[in-house]
Amino acid sequence: MKIRAAVIKKAGQPFEIETLDLAAPGEGEVLVRIGAAGICHSDWHIREGTTEHPLPVVAGHEGAGIVEAVGAGVGSLRQGDQVALSWAPSCGSCFYCGKGRPALCETWQGPLWAGTMLDGSTRLSLAGEPVYHYCGLACFAEHAVVSAASCVPLDHEVPLEVAAMIGCAVTTGLGAVMNTAQVVGGSSVAVYGMGGVGLSILAGARLAGAEPLIAVDRYDTKLDMARSFGATHVFKADESTLNGILEATARRGADYVFEAVGSPEVQEACLHAVRPGGKLVLVGLSPMGSETDFPGSIITRQEKTVLGSYYGSCDPHRDFPLYAKLYLEGTLKLDSLVSKTYALEDINIAYSDMLEGTVARGAIVF
């Protein structure tokens, strides 16, 4: 079938809207009509070349839609199912899946970074030449063929824009709080970066009963959103940030500090905001090849713990339905997470808005 998609042909150049050929789903795969796809910084890393990936590629890894067809051997999904898409499919049988860490699945690591499906081939092509899939999803497109393992059915009452956010930002943020750090009630939490992931971290910390909830960002518009997600203190990211956090935490620093920017410089600054005995959780993806310089003497003498949180240490088939349930119950407020929507043709504008800080989380809607 013919589909329209946003294609990255060369690093450093804008997305191009192309008409591509999309093959039918193979064994264990499904065809999904994309309803919404989030504007996330991880895709920008592909566009800029700071994350290495085969090109040309259809990016988009935060999406949701409706199943239109299923391939051979798929018994868990039916035509008409609404699904949130997971960018970390799992096999269920490798070493890490057996350890309860499906986001680290060994079976899928190779194909995901190669931009292919599990069999090593692509379902996308342009003029007979392969076009690669980012994260096995490629959902900056009208339709996508994805592994059934990437699809998590959700109630149709969940809006597609919200379902898409559950597929990445919400799960990455809430999971960092609940699964990776396991924040306990009454703890102080500081979050650097108020994009979709940072706001979701705030929401998770609020659910966990943490207080104070401290938000840090460069942009006033994002700090305003942070207040609506439960922040009790907001600080502009500048030379006074650390002192503000210390003042809010009896001069000790926060029990938990989350970095949701993906900047080595910000990561290094975050360590100083952690109290002795506290935890720094790195959630943002920094560019490939970059390095973060942490002083080992401070980590040792002050017993600070540095944790990495990849996709919120999640199990998508467990966590997506939980977050959807909390949303439908009204416990988890997600409607304002998507602050602006765009047509596919406006994807370059959407990324400009993201970089300028005028939008916390945008979404392409179809």
Closest-CA residue to 258 (of 290, 228, 289, 226): 226
Sign of the CA dihedral with 222 first, then 225, 229, and 231 last: positive
CATH number of the domain where residue 222 is located: 3.40.50.720
- 316 within a domain of the structure (yes/no): no
Q: Let me know whether 136 and 183 are in one domain.
A: no
Q: Let me know whether 84 and 185 are in one domain.
A: no
- For residue 329, give the amino acid letter: E
- 161 within a domain of the structure (yes/no): no
Q: Let me know whether 99 and 213 are in one domain.
A: no
The H or E element containing residue 325 is: helix 316-329
- 244 within a domain of the structure (yes/no): yes
Residues lower than pLDDT 50 in the chain: none
- 347 within a domain of the structure (yes/no): yes
User: DSSP string of 242-305?
Assistant: HHHHHHHTTTS-EEEEEE-S--HHHHHHHHHTEEEEEEEEE-S-PPTT------HHHHHHTT-E
Q: Let me know whether 127 and 194 are in one domain.
A: no
Please return the burial class of 329, using the count of CB atoms within 10 Å of its CB with bins 0-12, 13-18 and 19+. exposed
Q: Let me know whether 7 and 146 are in one domain.
A: yes
Number of domains in the chain: 2
- 165 within a domain of the structure (yes/no): no
pLDDT digits (tens, 9 = 90+) for 226-262: 999 999 999 999 999 999 999 999 999 999 999 999 9
- 78 within a domain of the structure (yes/no): yes
Angle between helices 264-272 and 241-248 (to 10 degrees): 40
Q: What is the largest CA-CA distance in the chain?
A: 63
What is the predicted pLDDT for the residue at 171? 98
What is the predicted pLDDT for the residue at 257? 98
Closest-CA residue to 148 (of 62, 61, 60, 85): 85
Beta strands in the chain (DSSP E): 2-8, 16-22, 29-38, 57-58, 63-70, 82-85, 124-126, 129-133, 143-147, 151-153, 189-192, 213-217, 233-236, 254-259, 274-282, 305-308, 340-342, 362-365
Side by side, the strands of the sheet bearing 274-282 are 233-236, 213-217, 189-192, 254-259, 274-282, 305-308
Q: Let me know whether 96 and 175 are in one domain.
A: no
Q: Let me know whether 269 and 305 are in one domain.
A: yes
Q: Let me know whether 12 and 143 are in one domain.
A: yes
What is the predicted pLDDT for the residue at 357? 86
Q: Let me know whether 186 and 298 are in one domain.
A: yes
pLDDT digits (tens, 9 = 90+) for 91-104: 999 999 999 999 99
- 301 within a domain of the structure (yes/no): yes
What is the predicted pLDDT for the residue at 151? 98
Domain range for 75: 2-153+336-365
- 318 within a domain of the structure (yes/no): no
Cis peptide before 212 (omega within 30 of 0): yes
Q: Let me know whether 193 and 235 are in one domain.
A: yes
Q: Let me know whether 98 and 194 are in one domain.
A: no
CATH number of the domain where residue 90 is located: 3.90.180.10
Q: Let me know whether 9 and 106 are in one domain.
A: yes
Instruction: Kindly report the pTM of this predicted structure.
Output: 0.95
